[in-house]
């Protein structure tokens, strides 16, 4: 997809006219607190119906205002021209429209507008808890299996019901109910684990293609692989596992095994990456995972993702930073990158001088140069 134009109202400190982005790289520069991340946040609201910074919309809506709105004009490889509108109020009322048609679930927006978000917290994809990696699988699989999100929602519902049942096994009829929840949990769990497993295999193949371009020949000794962990003992049948662990689950009052505990195991030279990589390596690796995900999406659907890159200058050394942008450029992904440091001061990015350039100052976004309005 190509986000051509963006209009923002009521998002944090921003006051901007309609913004017109470059098909390749658009660069947002400005002092700390000027509003750069807020512009990226507005794009995230448009494409995912949520901010990547705060789950609480009240903190994103401009002080003293009751709602925020974002409008976008998108050119999609498959769906053609799209006009997208998103509005959210302090009381969490949500309206989303694509080409004038109401979107019932904001999760539908994700399917329309594939986005990759890279922020200062990106290293957590490698270093942090499994939840971030499960979300990574979710972002990818949403586009590949129309029913995936529905399966995930249904699985969570069944899991909650089973957990309640586990805590009430003493009540009459509870064991019978538990049998019924087990059957549904196993059925959905196997389905989810199967697509997640296939997905991680595909991502691993993509990663092997992306890493050499990102590491620029420095990848020797940086032999990275990702593999899927289903949330139960490798090779065991999920229905057997659920049967065998029922007593333990009753004692704990919750279901231990299942895709709610799945993970992606990231290894560097056969060692767990989270235990050995540096912060900068973790950020580079997570960026490689983002690109591998975008590549997988493009292969599966023919659609390119939009990349939001916050704090471009953060953590990465100049060479890795430049190689990352070149990689995205060579794959013809659109990029919106923000930085408090001017491009000119980021040595290896001198050749990116031709990109669209926006200056952000106290919430005012002004175009310095680039595509015409
Ligand atoms: N709900 C809100 N209403 C109005 N202003 C807000 C709101 N939330 C945050 N702000 C202000 O918006 C400004 C912009 O924040 P933002 O994080 O976008 O800046 P930034 O340019 O990314 O800065 P940095 O370079 O430090 O990352 C900050 O000064 C912040 O205090
Ligand atoms: Mg910022």
248-265 pLDDT per residue, tens: 999 999 999 999 999 999
What pLDDT is stored for residue 106 in this prediction?
A: 85
| CATH number of the domain that residue 351 is part of | 3.40.50.300
Residue 221 structure tokens: 């000794």
Alpha helices in the chain (DSSP H): 36-48, 57-60, 107-112, 124-127, 130-144, 148-167, 174-215, 238-244, 246-252, 273-276, 279-301, 318-330
How many CB atoms lie under 10 A from the CB of residue 253? 12
Range of the domain at 27: 1-114+304-373
Establish if 126 belongs to a structural domain.
Answer: no
Establish if 12 belongs to a structural domain.
Answer: yes
What pLDDT is stored for residue 338 in this prediction?
A: 95
What pLDDT is stored for residue 16 in this prediction?
A: 81
Taking a 5 Å cut-off on Cβ, the residues next to ion ligand 2 are 37
| 339 alpha carbon – ligand 2 mean position (Å) | 7
What pLDDT is stored for residue 219 in this prediction?
A: 62
Instruction: Tell which one of 37, 54, 118, 340 to mutate to probe ligand 1, the residue whose CB is within 8 A of the most ligand atoms.
Output: 37
> How does pLDDT run across 334-357, given as a tens digit for each residue?
999 999 988 777 766 666 767 899
- For atom 14 of ligand 1, the residue with the nearest CA is 35
- Count the domains in the chain: 1
Q: Ligand 1 within 6 A of 64 CB?
A: no
What pLDDT is stored for residue 148 in this prediction?
A: 94
What pLDDT is stored for residue 172 in this prediction?
A: 84
Establish if 239 belongs to a structural domain.
Answer: no
Contact 224, 276 (CB under 8 A): no
Contact 142, 148 (CB under 8 A): yes
Contact 367, 358 (CB under 8 A): yes
Establish if 168 belongs to a structural domain.
Answer: no
Establish if 222 belongs to a structural domain.
Answer: no
> How does pLDDT run across 41-89, given as a tens digit for each residue?
999 999 999 999 999 999 999 999 999 999 999 999 999 999 999 999 9
What pLDDT is stored for residue 146 in this prediction?
A: 85
- For atom 31 of ligand 1, the residue with the nearest CA is 33
What pLDDT is stored for residue 351 in this prediction?
A: 67
| Spans in the chain with pLDDT lower than 50 | none
Q: Which ligand is nearest to the CA of 68?
A: 1
């Amino acid at each position: 997809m190509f986000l051509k134009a963006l209009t923002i109202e009521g998002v944090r400190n921003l006051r901007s006219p309609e913004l017109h982005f470059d098909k390749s790289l658009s660069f947002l520069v400005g002092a700390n607190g000027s509003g750069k991340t807020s512009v990226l946040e507005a794009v995230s609201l448009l494409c995912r119906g949520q901010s990547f910074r705060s789950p609480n919309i009240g903190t994103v809506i401009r002080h003293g205002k009751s709602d925020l709105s974002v409008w976008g004009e998108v050119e999609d490889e498959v769906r053609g021209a799209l006009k997208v509108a998103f509005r959210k109020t302090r009381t969490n009322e949500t309206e989303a429209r694509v080409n004038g048609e109401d979107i019932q679930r904001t999760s539908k927006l994700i399917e329309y507008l594939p986005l990759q978000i890279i922020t200062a917290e990106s290293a957590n994809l490698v270093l942090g808890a499994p939840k971030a990696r499960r979300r990574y699988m979710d972002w990818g699989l949403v586009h590949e299996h129309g029913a995936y999100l529905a399966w995930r929602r249904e699985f969570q519902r069944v899991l909650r019901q089973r957990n309640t049942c586990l805590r009430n096994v003493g009540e009459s009829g509870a064991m019978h109910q538990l049998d019924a929840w087990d059957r549904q949990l196993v059925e959905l769990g196997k389905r989810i684990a199967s697509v997640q497993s296939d997905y991680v295999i595909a991502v691993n193949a993509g990663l092997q293609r992306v890493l050499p371009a990102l590491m620029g020949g420095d990848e020797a000794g940086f032999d990275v692989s990702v593999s899927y962990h289903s949330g139960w003992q490798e090779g065991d049948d999920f229905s057997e596992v659920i049967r065998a662990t029922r007593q333990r689950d009753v004692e704990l009052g919750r279901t231990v095994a299942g895709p709610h505990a799945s993970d992606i195991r990231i290894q560097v030279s056969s060692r767990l990456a989270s235990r050995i990589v540096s912060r900068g390596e973790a950020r580079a690796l997570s960026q490689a995972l983002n690109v591998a995900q975008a590549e997988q999406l493009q292969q599966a659907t023919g659609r390119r993702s939009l990349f939001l890159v916050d704090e471009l200058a953060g953590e990465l050394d100049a060479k890795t930073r430049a190689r990352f942008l070149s990689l995205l450029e060579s794959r013809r992904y659109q990029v919106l990158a923000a930085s408090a440091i001017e491009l000119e001061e980021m040595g290896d990015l001198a050749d990116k001088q031709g990109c669209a350039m926006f200056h952000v100052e106290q919430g005012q976004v002004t175009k310095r140069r680039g595509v015409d309005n």
